[in-house]
Structure 1
Amino acid sequence: MNKKIFTATNWNAVEDMVDKLTYEKLTSQFWLSTRMPVSKDKQDWRKLSELEKRLVEKVFGGLTLLDTLQSRNGIEALRKNVRTDLEIDVLNNIQFMETEHARSYSNIFSTLNTNQEIRDIFEWIEFHETLQTKANIIDDIYENGTDLQIKVASVFLESFLFYSGFYTPLYYLGKSKLMNVAEVIKLIIRDESVHGTYIGYKFSLGFKELPQQEQEELKMWIYQLLYQLYENECRYTEYLYDEIGWTEDVKIFLKYNANKALMNLRLDPLFEDSAEDVNPIVLNGLSTSTTNHDFFSAVGNGYLMSVVETMNDDDYNY
């Protein structure tokens, strides 16, 4: 039998300081869904109309599917083409938190919904066409794409496709409703912000190494992919929000976050929409600081939560 030589992770020999600092940032943000006081929102939940309840259920169902896809297929695809040893450890952390994100939605369901309602949500996930379409587009790239295409798909999932679902809890938070549920979402958004920025950074390193012609070809593919996802996301948004009347506002929010995804890839924005175009109620919900304290042995999520923000290039200047 040929013996292998196994190596140990050496955190004192860091190849890329971004790996170490990202890992430290993610561990400093660690949280668990079971520590979030979602049950305090039961009164708000009872006051929602049946239309609003079904909307919340569907957007969280869709988010559960995407988090499951990322934790099981996305991270495995990214692991195949790491540039450094510590990148694997960062991806391990991201994989765990994506699993925790998916679990957090089930925790919300078990708190607010009946068993039959939960079964209906997960049945809807399996058979809704536009939701399954975006999962299939991303997963096909995870299975068959190049290293850089896989990173693009991951960033688009983390930084863009989640946001049609995030709109609803952020809107309610801006209206001072379902505030504990929304703070779970803000914790998730904070994680996804780091995930998208980190993978985008790794993409940029590989992109810079390509010849000019290959860069142009890849950029063309990226913008075509984004527009394909955006068109499908518009249909998904229309299905979710037409009846409640929020569709056009959500589409603006989508374009705003599509541009942020491109920024994570260090590419130019596709849409003209900016923060000034987004519904101010949602932006207010996105930027509101935490309010819950002393719900778990005198530990509140205020010590964990800061204002949700995207890491920028300056965060990577060492």
Structure 2
Amino acid sequence: MTNPNYTKAINWNNIEDIIDKSTWEKLTEQFWLDTRIPLSNDLDDWRSLSDVERDLVSHVFGGLTLLDTVQSDTGMDSLRADARTQHEEAVLNNIQFMESVHAKSYSSIFSTLNTKTEIDEIFAWIDANKNLQYKAQTVNKIYQNGTPLEKKIASVFLETFLFYSGFFTPLYYLGNNKLANVAEIIKLIIRDESVHGTYIGYKFQLGFDELGDEEQEALKSWAYDLLYDLYANEEIYTDDLYGQLGWAEDVKTFLRYNANKALMNLGFDPLFPDTASDVNPIVMNGLSTGTTNHDFFSQVGNGYLLGQVEAMSDDDYNFD
């Protein structure tokens, strides 16, 4: 795509892949910022939680901050190097920016709910947690050294699987009528990630279909081995986070369900027997990605132009 003696201007009137255009439009329609959400309204709920619960929420968001940092710092740069079209590069630029918005959003939550000392402790915990660092480093190494298709597999696993051990907590509290505004941020992030994961999975499938049978089988085996490795680490991470509250098994079910979704984004068969009906129904209800509009005068809230932006559904990004 590059030539040292020639620079090509992007032409949105000449689309090579219509999915690039439709994804750009979906992402820009969904644009949001954390500053629009009144997180301080959750302070009473926060004070009602036990010390163990507050530690859980803080560490969960700490873990999510690290993973979003990986995506925004190295992930999208890595994928952009292998973009098929200029329009794909533009979409990945958008995704990279929103991953930075996601990471900043967790800091907005911290600054609202936590003291300065607590925030310092959260980031020290991020640096020291071996299982959290393992999954971040595993994905990062693939971004730095993997093939273009391996990078896409790692990205989809991060977007559609690894985030969800963290997403469980705010969705659970939302179902119990607590931390509603914090949960709104998570629902907006999930809405973004559902587009990111399916789009990158679609781009993976384009490249995968160009491989010979032996190459496909080898790459598929590599993907399943990676998922097994990440899931084994995630079980330990989940036990560490949720063991005291007795939620670990529910979270693992949620993880397995989303691991299957990640595989399906890649065009692969599900690995685990878990389905939506096995997931804690309170959490599944929270996965509905419709948003609440807090600013009725300008029609801009955490659901930006809510009447024009539909919630994501499982079939929203069926690229077949």
Matched, 1:49 2:50: yes
SS at match of 1:287: coil
Match of 1:272 in 2: 273
1:284 is displaced (CA, Å) by 1.3
Q: Which amino acid aligns with 1:73?
A: T
Instruction: Please give the alpha-carbon distance, in whole angstroms, between the structure 2 residues aligned to 1:106 and 1:65.
Output: 11
Instruction: Please give the alpha-carbon distance, in whole angstroms, between the structure 2 residues aligned to 1:13 and 1:297.
Output: 34
Match of 1:134 in 2: 135
1:313 is displaced (CA, Å) by 5.5
Match of 2:237 in 1: 236
Match of 1:116 in 2: 117
Match of 2:209 in 1: 208
| Per-residue deviation, residues 38-78 of structure 1 (Å, max 9, x unmatched) | 11101110101110000000000000000000001101110
| Per-residue deviation, residues 109-140 of structure 1 (Å, max 9, x unmatched) | 00111000000001110010000000111011
1:6 is displaced (CA, Å) by 1.6
Matched, 1:70 2:71: yes
Instruction: Please give the alpha-carbon distance, in whole angstroms, between the structure 1 residues aligned to 2:9 and 2:16.
Output: 14
Instruction: Please give the alpha-carbon distance, in whole angstroms, between the structure 2 residues aligned to 1:125 and 1:310.
Output: 32
Instruction: Please give the alpha-carbon distance, in whole angstroms, between the structure 1 residues aligned to 2:83 and 2:157.
Output: 19
- For the aligned residues, what is the CA RMSD? 1.6
Scaled by the length of structure 1, the TM-score of the pair is: 0.95
| Per-residue deviation, residues 74-105 of structure 1 (Å, max 9, x unmatched) | 01110111111111000000000000000000
1:194 touches 1:310 (CA, 8 Å); kept in 2?
Answer: no
1:66 touches 1:162 (CA, 8 Å); kept in 2?
Answer: yes
Match of 2:95 in 1: 94
- The 1:233–1:263 alpha-carbon spacing in structure 2 relative to 1, beyond 3 Å, is same
1:197 touches 1:311 (CA, 8 Å); kept in 2?
Answer: no
Scaled by the length of structure 2, the TM-score of the pair is: 0.95
1:299 is displaced (CA, Å) by 3.0
SS at match of 1:268: coil
- The 1:181–1:4 alpha-carbon spacing in structure 2 relative to 1, beyond 3 Å, is same
Instruction: Please give the alpha-carbon distance, in whole angstroms, between the structure 1 residues aligned to 2:208 and 2:183.
Output: 36
SS at match of 2:287: helix
1:190 touches 1:309 (CA, 8 Å); kept in 2?
Answer: no
Give the % identical residues. 64
1:73 touches 1:139 (CA, 8 Å); kept in 2?
Answer: yes
Aligned pairs for 1:3-18 (under 5 A) are 4-18=5-19
The answer for unaligned runs of 5 or more in structure 1 is none
1:145 is displaced (CA, Å) by 0.5
